[in-house]
Amino acid sequence: MKKGLAYYRFCLKAEAKYRVNFIAYLLHGFIQLVAVLFIWNLVYSSTDSGVIEGLNYQEIILYTIISMITTQFMVLDNDFQIAGDIQDGNLAYELVRPVSYITKLFFQGIARSTTSIVLVGVPSIIGVIIYLSQQESLAIALSRACLFLIIVTLSVGLMFCVNLLFGYSAFYLNYSWGFLLFKGTFISLLSGALFPLAMLPESIRGFFLKTPFQYMLYFPTMVFLGKLSPEEIVTNLIIQVIWLGIFILLCVVFWRHAIKTITINGG
């Protein structure tokens, strides 16, 4: 843990150093958010009731903002990191260092997401709490926010494991970047980052809700939005923990197998 925290502090300083890169990331996120809001405005203006699958216009705006907040926690990039280390030959050096390579990846990923969480996520969460407190009560808004943060913590672990599994593809592929880019689009679709899964046809929605990917974004977002009952929250939370355990086990198994078949290109 001590060595991991040292990596965290080092990477956090590195993230703060490249200010232009971070500003560009913020502008990208802001432009994307504005574009999505315009699209939802057009969609809802064409409906008679102003409600689509139980979500009105104000709620879909909140969903978009909360999903953006959740995304800030998922900026880990450990899949590209491990793929780059394998293909550049740096993994050979990482494996002989006196710290677990996976531990290093985890704390590096947390450091990458910390800056965006502090500058974007925290102010946005406060804004959502203020808005919800005007609709219901401050106590309810705060309880939802706390539950949201607990669930998102598990979601970060799940995202880290999924990224690891996809990053391990570099052990078997000579070029894995296209595969990892496909993974990003695939998870965005199945996690509800592009739109609420509730808006899908029932047959497709049922399939998407059975995958582990909805627990990365859709589940915590709907909890913060107050669209799930206490029974649904408890049930989904238990399933999320089970999925996290399964993916941790898969990461361990695939790592032990992949490390035996490693081929270093370059270096």
266 located within any domain = no
Question: Which pLDDT score is estimated for 242?
Answer: 96
pTM attached to this predicted model? 0.84
Domain count across the chain: 1
Question: Which pLDDT score is estimated for 263?
Answer: 57
192 located within any domain = yes
25 located within any domain = yes
63 located within any domain = yes
Question: Which pLDDT score is estimated for 267?
Answer: 46
Question: Which pLDDT score is estimated for 215?
Answer: 94
C-alpha angle with apex 168: 163 to 170, nearest 5 degrees?
Answer: 115
Say if CB 167 and CB 79 are below 8 A apart.
yes
Average pLDDT per 10 consecutive residues for the chain, totaling 267 residues: 66 64 68 80 79 82 89 83 80 77 83 78 88 88 93 93 87 78 86 86 86 93 91 95 95 83 57
Question: Which pLDDT score is estimated for 264?
Answer: 57
Which structure tokens are listed for 266?
């370059």
**Host domain of residue 135:** 2-258
78 exposed, middle or buried (CB, 10 Å; 0-12, 13-18, 19+)? buried
265 located within any domain = no
Question: Which pLDDT score is estimated for 26?
Answer: 66
264 located within any domain = no
Question: Which pLDDT score is estimated for 205?
Answer: 87
161 located within any domain = yes
Site of tokens 């399933």: 239
